[in-house]
Structure 1
């Protein structure tokens, strides 16, 4: 091994060889700096995102509708119509109609304001004004001759062995049309039901009392007359079978 002698005026002889190697390695362009690695990774990630967005724009259908959510002024801060960050919109409340004034119905049976005394009385169940307590029931002839004596009636009884025939004729002697009702009481041996009735509408009552009304429900014209009759049976056989009583609208009938 040869030995080299360094000059005493050589400045490089004072630096150890290892220091020079370290200095050259620091200045070498091939040595990568640790501070650049995060920047390179971030740039690579951004490039991947940009390329992915471009690919989605190419394959996205052109006719796909885009959703838009309205933002209504004062309510956009969280009230009705507010759209949050996830695309969920708060529904608006349904409009409510103003309350309608209620009308209190009067209690049943109470008369309304302004009703006449007769109407108010009929609503409460009491008889109306002008009605007499002794009024005749519906269908019965009024007592005392309701037509003022304008009707006159005659009857004829024809008995035979266990049978009879009764004929009644009514005449309007007044100047106005009149409705008529005839009541006849037969003897106790008359048998109900009767055989036949013509030109009238009969109705049987207790104690062999019969009531007869117009067949067509019409009134008898002034000066006109009408006849009706009935045929029946009886238990007796004598000729003393006769009408007990006969009235036409309260007036007494005459026997022929």
Structure 2
């Protein structure tokens, strides 16, 4: 004799199968939707299926809800730059220039003739002497004195008759060039003494025709 089964125990088993099949169908449909739908972000949406029977407990099914991301504004606001206003520069006022006053030029002063300075007094004095003489030659001696108040340079020039044939051959205490003798600077009141030797072509003494020291004539004798 077969055992009796209680029909009330089969209802929960079938309800669980139906719920599982429903959830599986939804999952397959959701995956197919994601695979074929646009690639954009979706947010889950809660969908409650209608109950299959009075004793079946509905299961919560999550369905994605498409969410549209805000599109960035493509047209940025363009701020128009203000055009700088050009200010007109004021025209310079032309003021009449004052005519320069003409001043009478002073009459040129008459140049006075310059007076030539008076010649300075001689500060050198000299003396010429013949100390020795023979037929073909002689020896002369000259002294120069500074009578001024400042040091002075000196030179003595002696000339002889051209027919005497005098030729100076040497000098001491002075330098000789031709017929001119020079020496060191003389201090005020000082005297320079020098001598010389000369040849001649005439007999007797030969007197000089000229002797000057610093522009003044020598005293001969």
TM over 0.5, shorter chain:
no
TM-score (norm 1): 0.37
Whichever of the two has the greater Rg, that structure is 2
The structure whose residues are more often strand, as a share, is: 2
The structure whose residues are more often helix, as a share, is: 1
